Amino acid sequence: MNRVRDVVQAVVAEHAVHELPLVEGLLRFDDERAVQVLGGQGRRREPLGFGFAEAAALVTPVVWLVLDQVARRGLDAATDSLMERWRRRVRRSLRLGPGEPPVVLPALDHAQLARVRERVLERAVERGMSSEEAEALADGVIARLATEPPGPGEVSAPREPPAAPTSPASS
């Protein structure tokens, strides 16, 4: 199973190792609270030591926010309905345990992975990354999602083998 937090941590470790303290700080929260912090909801100073403005150009919010949206709402959902938001607030206010379980990404086919890549690319460029950095980040996210082994009880979709390089026939 691909937990959003695990994918984020792996991608950040590969593409922005200097952001690992940020990720470690976010891992103290449940996923819903981490998304609130990264999304700038409330706009107040957060326990991580900075607010949304300071996180705008970082890799962590780009990856976490895109993957969270994919996991919770699917690729095509734009916004929650008012009723869904109300239910979430009621559940949060009644919660007695340590928090929500980590958000898990669904299995994604090739077309869906391509759309996730586009979303990461768009969000990264919007947040000030260069095209080259955004491309590398998007490719890293997709590589992580495409190579994650299935969890218990999951069936892995057959992956297409990489195309073999073509070379002139040797005589």
DSSP 111-169: HHHHHHHHHHHHHHHHTT--HHHHHHHHHHHHHHHHHPPP-TT--PPPPPPPPPPP-PP
Q: Which residues pair with 104 in a beta bridge?
A: 3
pLDDT computed for residue 116 by the predictor = 94
Task: Tell the residue number behind the tokens 């990489």, with chain if given.
Answer: 162
Kindly report which listed range (4-13, 21-30, 34-43, 69-78) carries the lowest average pLDDT score: 69-78
Q: Give, for 88, the enclosing helix (H) or strand (E).
A: helix 82-94
The span from the first CA to the last CA of the chain, in angstroms, equals 47
pLDDT computed for residue 80 by the predictor = 46
Kindly report which listed range (99-103, 111-115, 146-150, 161-165) carries the lowest average pLDDT score: 161-165
pTM comes to 0.66
Residue 6 has pLDDT above 50, yes or no: yes
How many CA atoms are closer than 13 Å to the CA of 115, on its beta-carbon side?
11
Using 50, 70 and 90 to split pLDDT, how confident is the model at 101? confident
pLDDT computed for residue 55 by the predictor = 47
How far is it, in rounded angstroms, from Cα 119 to Cα 96? 35
How far is it, in rounded angstroms, from Cα 54 to Cα 128? 12
**Amino acid at the residue 84:** E
How far is it, in rounded angstroms, from Cα 33 to Cα 102? 11
